[in-house]
Structure 1
Amino acid sequence: MPPYSDDKAIDRSIGRKVLIDQSKQQQISLISGFRGVARHLKSVLTVEINTEPISLSGLDDVRMLIIPQPKSALGTGEIETIWKFVEEGGALMILSGEGGERQSLNELVAKYGIVVNKDSVIRTVFLKYFDPKEALVANGVVNRSIAAAAKKNVSTEQKQNSQSLSFIYPFGSTLTVTNRSSTIVLSSGSTSFPTSRPVAAFHETKPNELNKQGRVCVVGSVSMFHDTYIDKEENGKIFDTIVDYLINGFDLNTIDAAEPEIHDYINIPDHIHMSQQIKVCMYEGELDSAVSSDFMKILDNSLNSVSLKHWPMTLRLYEALSLSPPPLTIVEPQFDLPMPPFTPAVFPPLFQELPMPTLELFDLDELFSSPETQLSQLANRSEETDLSFFIEKAGEITGLSSELSRNDRTPKRIMELALNKLMMFKRSMMDGELDVDMSGFDVQEDHHNLEQNYLGNDEMDDQLFSDIDEFDDL
């Protein structure tokens, strides 16, 4: 095969092969993991694998090159070969994974303004998939042309919102697009973290001498098109759309490409590492005057001092016993933590909200009115058939019910208590009339009159109790 020269332009668009690279210790191959990818590609091109270092001679008649999550670094010559392959009109698909990749991969895609971040996309809300790194994205389509190219039947409103494809993004990282020439097409959505960050981007080179353009696609998750996930949700349609763009090309939405709905990248501290550190008290109390202000004098350095005074004796002891001294090793110290280990809470506890005070159930005018007014209102609301209810409520208003036990608050007992109080009141009034000036009267005659009065009171009592008996008969 003749070598390629720099002054000879080659048309890669006429190639009929898809080359899947397996020369960088990839864990996924056509046998294990990419059977579904091969099934989708065979309807378009011929699928082959590459186990040798990437070179221009090995890319003969190759239309598209797929590099799935390389474990070893790409050589400088290989990177330049791939760049030239794309400039000649070839198609390049790079599939990364969680935690980012080696520096050589970022060196390869940095030319196109794309960087693979060293992070991982997780789902903050559980839905359908148990592993948090299996992020189900329902609103991750950034460029609405992807939904149209996927031939998905959507309504007009969905086309306006461009949220018409749902996909699962497992064990993947995010991307950073630093060049206007590259277009963000998929994001992590609003229910994943990092929120609304790029996960797939396209790049199209300028036309070459033969008016051919090379295309590049970078996806942050190789597991997205693994046999386990390619048939779930709409991952298969997204893969076919990416292949259609790389092979044939289609116009992307210019508005979405110019201003994609992407949020800024937010870094958070390593909570797992921080939870394992010793915590100190940040409270600044009053300093004891007896303690010196120089706290370094308080530290006891003898606890961790190193002394080698016994080392010569130990070596002579080995010589006396005809033994070879072992090599020195580092003994890892074991510290007793002053605090128990912490278990971080994934979700904050949900407390039940207290109910609102039921003030609308109270009639304030009725509660603050006088007993006479309350008795008048009660009499107006009651009828002859509500006699028992009237007596019970009147007992509560006048306070008579409070003098009886809860089980003894019957209308009969309330009336009996009311009549008893009335009788005692009348007797006290009558006793007050008898308490007059006794001077000038005969004591014997007065004594006789008092006895008559008391007899009259006894007759009055008999009359009152006879009325109670008549009420009981009723």
Structure 2
Amino acid sequence: MASYSDENMTNRSLARKVLIDQSKQQQISMISGFRGVARHLKSVLTVEINTEQINLNVLDDVRMLIIPQPRSAFGTGEIETIWKFVDEGGCLMILSGEGGERISLNELISKYGITVRKDSVIRTVFLKYFDPKEVLVANGVVNRSIAVAAKKNITVFIRTLSFVYPYGCTLDVNNRSSTVVLSSGSTSFPTSRPVAAFHETKLNEFKKKGRVCVVGSVSMFHDSYIEKEENGKIFDTFVEYLVNGFELNTIDATEPELNDYTNIPDHIHMSQQIKVCMYEGELDSAVSSDFMKIMDSSLHSFNLKHWPMTLRLYEALNLSPPPLTLVEPQFELPMPPFIPAAFPPTFQDLPMPPLELFDLDEQFSSPEVQLTQLANRSDEEDLIFFIEKAAEITGISSELIRSERTPKKIIELAVSKLMLFRRSMMEGEIEVTSHFDMEDDRHRHSFNQLEENDDQLFSDIDEFDDL
């Protein structure tokens, strides 16, 4: 006669029901956040919700159990019940979040060589998503079988499966008992650390294996992210592995490309600790190995507890106590005092102008030469360029605002300047002509006066001859 446990294992191997636990005060539920998960699961399994304590009766005829980020502790016997559920061939999916363990979660999954860390994955390079905790991972596939199951072409092993890993933590995975399938990638911090891992139990007496999947981010399959990038394909691949199973790549499982976990020093705590110096000093071990004991603060304390005893000693000796005086403090200067300089300071000269970056012939040539060169290298198609460049050379562009520097405006201004120049030339010719006419009249008048004077002189000579 078969036992209850044997009947459970037989039913579980044929069951097609998924149970999403909501008994641990989870913030994500089927109503808010897991509608996309239910839509992906309903194509192959039946989805139900559990709000009661987890026991064998609740897990009867259940194929897969999903526990999304529990916020309250597991009750008495719940962890053993889940372990037994997995040993009987059941499937377990654990979804954690940033900050790591929440109420005995590691106690549940440490049996499978997986633990969640109390950290958060951030992206060190901005790409597509504004929040640094919304990590876009482009090279996070550690085991190539995940890409094959997601129907990715990997003739040459290139990690083409990209996913969003929002508000998640990293995992510690024992490679001997579990397999890392996804990592945080090379552009995140911590770099290339496990974020998703699988575990498969040994065959039971019914030749069935239980499977466990742990993911460090419950938000990865939230309604806001499951349809972004290829998160939906990854979820379907995880469900396919848990329900039906497929072979993982043994080479990638044995030697995954992961980095060691890097701890960042607690600078706030270290800054509050007293140190001897910025570097490690050589302490005499014979005196004390703890330098804190050498620093006796009582030797440098200021108080008045000995003041009454001192006054009584003065009275016993029949002496008058001296008046209090001000003790001038002596401050240690971190820098020596300033001394006037005997020589003026020497400043660094400015570098030579980079003449090799300029065309000297073009810079120092006259406007006429520049116009000639511009005309030689311009064709009929370059008329607009010729007009604009010629305006810059002749300085016409500086008389126009930037919005009016069109070829039409430039030609209009050039013609107006030419007409003004021609008019000024014509007025100059008229003035020069009138000046020459006035000089000619002046010379003609002076010549007539000379003739009259000669006539008078010669007339006197004639009279003298007559005499």
Q: TM-score range by the shorter chain?
A: 0.5 to 0.7
Aligned to 2:232: 236
Between 1:44-53 and 1:71-80, the stretch displaced more is 71-80
Does the 8 Å contact 2:34/2:221 carry over to 1? yes
Aligned to 2:210: 214
Which residue identity does 1:190 align to in structure 2?
A: S
**CA distance in 2: counterparts of 1:8 and 1:92, whole angstroms:** 16
Aligned-pair Cα RMSD in Å: 3.0
Is 1:263 the counterpart of 2:259? The answer is yes
Which residue identity does 2:236 align to in structure 1?
A: D
Aligned to 1:75: 75
Residue 296 (structure 1) shift: 2.9
Kindly tell me: are residues 358 and 91 of structure 1, through their superposed partners in 2, closer, same or farther at Cα, counting changes over 3 Å? Answer: farther
Kindly tell me: are residues 280 and 164 of structure 1, through their superposed partners in 2, closer, same or farther at Cα, counting changes over 3 Å? Answer: same
Residue 360 (structure 1) shift: 12
- What TM-score do the two structures reach when normalised by structure 2? 0.59
Which residue identity does 2:231 align to in structure 1?
A: N
Residue 280 (structure 1) shift: 8.3
**CA distance in 2: counterparts of 1:84 and 1:263, whole angstroms:** 33
Residue 125 (structure 1) shift: 1.1
Once the two structures are superposed, residues 284-311 of structure 1 have per-residue CA deviations (whole angstroms, 9 ceiling, x without a partner) of 9xxxxxxxx9653222468xxxxxxxxx
Is 1:182 the counterpart of 2:181? The answer is no
Residue 358 (structure 1) shift: 10
Kindly tell me: are residues 272 and 136 of structure 1, through their superposed partners in 2, closer, same or farther at Cα, counting changes over 3 Å? Answer: farther
Residue 60 (structure 1) shift: 1.3
Residue 181 (structure 1) shift: 2.1
**CA distance in 2: counterparts of 1:94 and 1:250, whole angstroms:** 19
Aligned to 2:444: none
Aligned to 2:147: 147
SS at 1:101 equivalent: coil
Indicate which of 239, 250, 254 corresponds to 2:250. 254
Aligned to 2:34: 34
Residue 198 (structure 1) shift: 0.3
Kindly tell me: are residues 357 and 14 of structure 1, through their superposed partners in 2, closer, same or farther at Cα, counting changes over 3 Å? Answer: farther
Aligned to 2:165: 169
**CA distance in 2: counterparts of 1:207 and 1:283, whole angstroms:** 59
Kindly tell me: are residues 298 and 222 of structure 1, through their superposed partners in 2, closer, same or farther at Cα, counting changes over 3 Å? Answer: same
Aligned to 2:155: 156
Aligned to 2:189: 193
Q: Structure 1: which 5+ runs fail to align?
A: 285-292, 303-355, 362-474
- Aligned-residue sequence identity (percent) comes to 75
Which residue identity does 2:106 align to in structure 1?
A: N
Which residue identity does 1:55 align to in structure 2?
A: N
Kindly tell me: are residues 357 and 17 of structure 1, through their superposed partners in 2, closer, same or farther at Cα, counting changes over 3 Å? Answer: farther
**CA distance in 2: counterparts of 1:73 and 1:294, whole angstroms:** 48
Residue 144 (structure 1) shift: 0.3
Residue 98 (structure 1) shift: 0.7
**CA distance in 1: counterparts of 2:168 and 2:54, whole angstroms:** 25
SS at 2:104 equivalent: helix
**CA distance in 2: counterparts of 1:178 and 1:31, whole angstroms:** 36
Kindly tell me: are residues 3 and 33 of structure 1, through their superposed partners in 2, closer, same or farther at Cα, counting changes over 3 Å? Answer: farther
Residue 6 (structure 1) shift: 7.7
**CA distance in 2: counterparts of 1:199 and 1:221, whole angstroms:** 8
Does the 8 Å contact 2:99/2:120 carry over to 1? yes
Give the paired residue count: 297
Once the two structures are superposed, residues 85-129 of structure 1 have per-residue CA deviations (whole angstroms, 9 ceiling, x without a partner) of 111111100000111123521111111000111111111111111
Once the two structures are superposed, residues 364-398 of structure 1 have per-residue CA deviations (whole angstroms, 9 ceiling, x without a partner) of xxxxxxxxxxxxxxxxxxxxxxxxxxxxxxxxxxx
Aligned to 1:93: 93
Is 1:24 the counterpart of 2:20? The answer is no
Kindly tell me: are residues 179 and 141 of structure 1, through their superposed partners in 2, closer, same or farther at Cα, counting changes over 3 Å? Answer: closer
**CA distance in 2: counterparts of 1:234 and 1:8, whole angstroms:** 36
Residue 81 (structure 1) shift: 0.6
**CA distance in 1: counterparts of 2:244 and 2:7, whole angstroms:** 26
**CA distance in 1: counterparts of 2:67 and 2:242, whole angstroms:** 14
Which residue identity does 2:166 align to in structure 1?
A: P
Residue 13 (structure 1) shift: 1.8
Superposition pairs of residues 193-342 of structure 1, within 5 angstroms: 193-271=189-267, 282=277, 296-300=298-302
SS at 1:216 equivalent: strand
SS at 2:20 equivalent: strand
Aligned to 1:106: 106
Residue 36 (structure 1) shift: 0.4
SS at 1:58 equivalent: coil
Residue 156 (structure 1) shift: 2.0
SS at 1:85 equivalent: helix
Does the 8 Å contact 1:123/1:135 carry over to 2? yes
**CA distance in 1: counterparts of 2:268 and 2:233, whole angstroms:** 38
Does the 8 Å contact 1:9/1:209 carry over to 2? no
Once the two structures are superposed, residues 111-159 of structure 1 have per-residue CA deviations (whole angstroms, 9 ceiling, x without a partner) of 100011111111111111111111111110000000010112x3522xx
Kindly tell me: are residues 10 and 80 of structure 1, through their superposed partners in 2, closer, same or farther at Cα, counting changes over 3 Å? Answer: farther
**CA distance in 2: counterparts of 1:113 and 1:74, whole angstroms:** 19
Aligned to 2:135: 135
**CA distance in 2: counterparts of 1:136 and 1:147, whole angstroms:** 17
SS at 1:26 equivalent: coil
Q: Structure 2: which 5+ runs fail to align?
A: 280-294, 305-350, 357-467
Once the two structures are superposed, residues 52-77 of structure 1 have per-residue CA deviations (whole angstroms, 9 ceiling, x without a partner) of 00011111111100000000011241
Which residue identity does 2:181 align to in structure 1?
A: V
SS at 1:62 equivalent: coil
**CA distance in 2: counterparts of 1:85 and 1:190, whole angstroms:** 37
Kindly tell me: are residues 9 and 169 of structure 1, through their superposed partners in 2, closer, same or farther at Cα, counting changes over 3 Å? Answer: closer
Does the 8 Å contact 2:163/2:229 carry over to 1? yes
SS at 2:47 equivalent: strand
Does the 8 Å contact 1:112/1:179 carry over to 2? no
Residue 264 (structure 1) shift: 0.5
**CA distance in 1: counterparts of 2:268 and 2:129, whole angstroms:** 24
Residue 4 (structure 1) shift: 3.7
- What TM-score do the two structures reach when normalised by structure 1? 0.58
Once the two structures are superposed, residues 243-291 of structure 1 have per-residue CA deviations (whole angstroms, 9 ceiling, x without a partner) of 000011001000000000011111102346667x59989479xxxxxxx
Does the 8 Å contact 2:175/2:254 carry over to 1? no
Which residue identity does 1:78 align to in structure 2?
A: E
**CA distance in 1: counterparts of 2:197 and 2:94, whole angstroms:** 10
SS at 1:93 equivalent: strand
**CA distance in 1: counterparts of 2:199 and 2:276, whole angstroms:** 53
Aligned to 1:346: none
Residue 178 (structure 1) shift: 1.9
Kindly tell me: are residues 357 and 59 of structure 1, through their superposed partners in 2, closer, same or farther at Cα, counting changes over 3 Å? Answer: farther
Once the two structures are superposed, residues 332-363 of structure 1 have per-residue CA deviations (whole angstroms, 9 ceiling, x without a partner) of xxxxxxxxxxxxxxxxxxxxxxxx999997xx
Does the 8 Å contact 2:33/2:223 carry over to 1? yes
